[in-house]
Amino acid sequence: MSILAVGTIGYDTVETRNGSVEAALGGSVSYFALAARYFAPVSVVAAVGTDFREGDRKLFAERAIDVRGMVTRDGPTFRWHGRYHEDMNVRDTISLALNVFADFSPDLLPDQRRSDFVFLANISPDLQQHVLGQVASPKVVAADTMNHWIANDRAALLRLLPRIDILTLNDEEARMLSGEHNLVKAGRAILKMGPDTVLVKRGEYGVLQFSREGLFATPAYPLEEVIDPTGAGDTFAGAFMGYIARKGGVSESALRTGVVYGCVLGSFVVEEFSVNRLAMLTWDDIERRYRGYLELTDSHHSRWTSQ
Amino acid sequence: MSILAVGTIGYDTVETRNGSVEAALGGSVSYFALAARYFAPVSVVAAVGTDFREGDRKLFAERAIDVRGMVTRDGPTFRWHGRYHEDMNVRDTISLALNVFADFSPDLLPDQRRSDFVFLANISPDLQQHVLGQVASPKVVAADTMNHWIANDRAALLRLLPRIDILTLNDEEARMLSGEHNLVKAGRAILKMGPDTVLVKRGEYGVLQFSREGLFATPAYPLEEVIDPTGAGDTFAGAFMGYIARKGGVSESALRTGVVYGCVLGSFVVEEFSVNRLAMLTWDDIERRYRGYLELTDSHHSRWTSQ
């Protein structure tokens, strides 16, 4: 079953202690789609500028990502320039230019309006609502958000929340949205705002999932080296949503396995700049790390009990 | 099989945003022993002052903790006064008085010298070595340490490490000891310094275990409210070591289950000030939360696959 994803496609300049990259393919939907496509077909909705590189469009198309909804508008593509601190959990935005994305208000294609699975990446709640309103009867809707919208567009966000099934956000954003410092209280408070499932992304500390069944806590895949954390959250969401779509819907089992695949794909993307590693994975790479993840988080010691 | 534990027993004054407590029973060995005793017999080695309260000695004795090695010396008991920030991961030491612990140099009792399981709580590496040297042929030796010894007594600590099996320390201390910022690299570097197992305690983010078999990552038990984090690390170590002693030795399975029981007992102790909650648990409390922990970290979805 295919996924409709709306968000940004852009060019990122990223500086980390391990080097830097200039005007590399980025944006929430780029990461999302390149992760989700390992699990289910993806159709993207985004605006790019006349400077968008043909090779980047091909990169999506060659991976069977439906780019009919990637419209080219007069002007430059969305650009972001960020710099990570020595502690890679912290970054500064040096510059941000919405460019052609500024007044983007997409009309979905007829077949996109019949999508069963919808992902609303981190864009304004009104734009998320505008897209969602065009989908006839979605089965599962997930959305991401960020501090900017929580602080400056709270009313629109609160209107959106009852219409979605799954919300992804990071720990600081969960605290901000709920007004609760404690993350368990925060997650439970956000459940009451509408979504059936809340995924709190904690970067290198893993994920807390709040669902109707209760809590699921799982660590990040421990890495010896992180080159560039950009896109880890959207990659997580892509693999997660991809797995849900492949399973055909939500169950506690699908949610948990989806979170694990999210952690697995998220661990790959940070190993290189931009989408370089994410775009080139094989199923064997993914399955090997998935099994590794299960082993290294295995407190049931199913593998070890014979010892 | 019984455990010998050496460290501090003292009186803590603790201030948190949830209130405060004055001269409450604390110290590394208090927390360790009160957690370990749920799993195996414990014999403590510590010095207390003439002001040590009879009721506190009884609290240990009534829980079948062997206090023959808790010697009373002229002078006041070890005291610590700490204040937690709004973010409970950070605390300031307001005052610290070693008192009768300052020149403590214990001689073990004859039966203590035949201990199979030894825990050297966070005291100077020379004192840890002094105690360990008196134990004839220990089966498993675990030790805790802290930034103070790593910075100021590094040579003695490096001499100790090849003589122990298991080292527990927190994430900042692992970085400091290894000189590696990345925790996976740090854990692996510390393995090369001697211990077969390194347990990196990350507070609310859980535990990373490095062993000869590889890595084990597990989250903390998510709590809605933390009243007082004091003693969580020693309680973790107590339950962990208690479980290892009950199993009669180290295996990957025993290590992992020990870590889980460590997280479980650690989650109880922080729910009240001092040892109040830890001292009063029933096996039913522990087993219920243990099962809860396995469920909420269950990425194998063994419970969920039927859905």
Q: What is the pLDDT of residues B87-104, one digit of tens each?
A: 888 999 999 999 999 999
Best interface-test mutation with B: which of A88, A298, A303, A306 has the largest number of B CBs within 10 A?
A298
Say if B153 falls within a structural domain. Answer: yes
Please check whether residue B39 lies inside any domain of the structure: yes
Partner residue opposite A218 with nearest CB, options B215, B219, B226: B219
pLDDT score of A307: 37
Higher pLDDT, A302 or A63: A63
- Provide the 10 A C-beta neighbour count for residue A126: 15
Question: Considering its fold, how many domains does chain A have in total?
Answer: 1
Q: What is the pLDDT of residue A294?
A: 95
Residue A222 and residue B184: Cβ atoms within 8 Å?
Answer: yes
The two three-digit tokens of residue A73, written as one number = 């508008």
Residue B222 has pLDDT above 50, yes or no: yes
DSSP letters along A225-275, please? --S--TTHHHHHHHHHHHHHHHHTS--HHHHHHHHHHHHHHHHHHTTSSTT
Percent of chain A scored above 70 by pLDDT?
97
pLDDT at residue B301 in the model? 60
Question: Does the model's pTM come out above 0.90?
Answer: yes
Judged against a pLDDT cut of 70, whether residue B303 lies above it is answered with: no
C-alpha angle with apex B250: B248 to B255, nearest 5 degrees?
Answer: 115
Lookup result for tokens 């409970």 = B88
Copy the structure tokens of residue B287. Answer: 């087993």
ipTM over 0.95: no
> Would an 8 Å CB–CB cutoff place B172 in contact with chain A?
no
CATH code of residue B146: 3.40.1190.20
On chain A, the residues whose CB falls within 8 A of the CB of B220 are 217
Mean pLDDT over all residues of chain A? 95
Please state the rounded mean pLDDT for residues A126-131.
97
Q: What is the mean pLDDT of residues A20-44?
A: 98
Confidence at residue B88, expressed as pLDDT on a 0 to 100 scale: 87
3-class DSSP assignment, residue A100: helix
Position A87 confidence tier, pLDDT thresholds 50, 70, 90? confident
Domain that holds residue A265: 3-296
Note the pLDDT of residue A304: 46
Residue B305 resides in a domain: no
Q: Which pLDDT does position A302 carry in this prediction?
A: 56
Asked if the model's pLDDT at residue A303 lies above 80, the reply is no
Using only C-alpha atoms, chain B has a radius of gyration, in whole angstroms, of 18
- The per-residue pLDDT for range A205-256, each reduced to its tens digit, is 999 999 998 999 999 999 999 999 999 999 999 999 999 999 999 999 999 9
- Asked if A94 and A71 count as a contact pair (C-beta separation under 8 A), the reply is no
Q: What was the pLDDT predicted at B299?
A: 86
Looking at the domain assignment, is residue A301 inside a domain?
A: no
- CA A26 to the chain's CA centroid: 12
Question: Is residue B307 in some structural domain?
Answer: no
Q: Which of B202, B217, B304 sits opposite A297 (nearest CB)?
A: B217
Residue window 2-21, chain B: list those with CB within 8 Å of chain A.
none
In a domain, B187, yes or no: yes
Average pLDDT over residues B211-216: 94
Predicted pLDDT at B305: 46
pLDDT on residue A30: 98
At A241-300, the pLDDT tens digits run 999 999 999 999 999 999 999 999 999 999 999 999 999 999 999 999 999 999 999 986
Span B106-133, pLDDT tens digits: 999 999 999 999 999 999 999 999 999 9
Closest CA to B202 of B159, B172, B240: B172
B154: tokens are: 């590094």
